[in-house]
Copies of this chain bind each other. A is one copy, B any other.
Amino acid sequence: MRTRAADLDALLVGARGGRALDVGRLLSLVENRSPDVPALMRTLAPLTGHATVVGVTGPPGVGKSTTTSALVTALRARGGTVAVVAVDPSSPFSGGALLGDRVRMAEHATDPGVFIRSVASRGHLGGLAATTPQAIRVLDAVGYDTVVVETVGVGQSEVEVAASADTTLVLVAPGMGDGIQAAKAGILEVADVLVVNKADLDGADATVSELRRALAQRAPGEWDPPVVRTVASAGTGIDDVVDAIDERSAWLRSSGRLGERRAVRARSELRALVADAVLGRIDDRRLADLAEQVASAELDVYAAVTLLLGD
């Protein structure tokens, strides 16, 4: 259903005035891919560019939600407002699996300077790549000083989304086993700040050394990712994380890399929207027919692509 232009404006005024309900409604338009999204994006564009966008990612169990919550507390203590977009591996079936984690965020529920939104990560191809930059645009335009995007650090789309922030925190924890080591290795390359959480556990020193070794092997860049130790559940080290984000933000501005980083985000959004637009024009019945023919080997898949593209 289409929202009238006057209603969009009213939502935006409400949201910028601090009405969480209206912020939520704007985000719902984006998540539901409402036909109003183009008009909304056009209206919002001139209001954007002020928020610091922070990605938080890492393997399951590393303490992402706890760290995000502690980060929110620390940012609030320094006076800024914060919005969180948490991309959950939930689903229509499970009905929001991370409810337990979201409950930990309850301490911020009555703070008007904090807005928290969980979004399901399921959906069609490239869903996150299109909708997350738009959710960031909404929250930036509404006026939040920091927008935190939290995603699970396993999965192509999810890691890409966190990595498209201005500054990406990669969380790891000591002694999480082989599978986790693997996941960790896969996400090291996107880290702007490495956070060793649960640093009070045995093996924290080894993990820090291991990370420093891995970083040393990384192709040298202009930004050298710091390694910060935290015990997020106790709030320990979180101020160091905020300092690292601030340092990185200052560097992004002084080096002129901020615009570049944001152009990369816009580029991935553009690609996702172009793909969306083209796929949206394909007739579902025709796609189903051709898919059947491909599945039964009556038609080869590239011949079907040519037919769909109408070349």
Contacts and interface: CB of A to CB of B under 8 A. Distances in A.
Interface stretch (A1-9, A227-235, A273-281): A273-281
A56 interface: no
A63 to B, nearest CB: 9
A177 interface: yes
Interface string A137-156: 10000000000000010111
Contacts of A216: none
B186 A97 contact: yes
A256 B270 CA distance: 40
B49 A297 contact: yes
Given A46-B297, A89-B186, A297-B46, A273 B305 contact: yes
A226 interface: no
Interface in A103-132: 121-123, 125-129
B41 A189 contact: no
Contacts of A179: 59-62
Contact of A182 (B89, B180, B282, B305): B89
Q: Most chain-B CB neighbours within 10 Å: which of A89, A121, A273?
A: A89
Given A93-B188, A158-B155, A274-B279, A41 B288 contact: no
A181 interface: yes
Interface string A30-71: 000000011001100110110000000001111000000000
B42 A152 contact: no
Interface residues of A, number: 95
Contacts of A294: 45, 263, 266, 269-270
Given A270-B304, A292-B259, A101 B275 contact: no
B88 A274 contact: no
Contacts of A92: 189
B60 A309 contact: no
A200 interface: no
A90 interface: yes
A292 B266 contact: yes
A121 B183 CA distance: 11
A176 B179 CA distance: 12
Given A42-B302, A60-B179, A267-B288, 12 more contacts: A48-B297, A90-B185, A101-B178, A134-B301, A152-B183, A154-B158, A155-B156, A155-B158, A263-B292, A270-B287, A270-B294, A278-B278
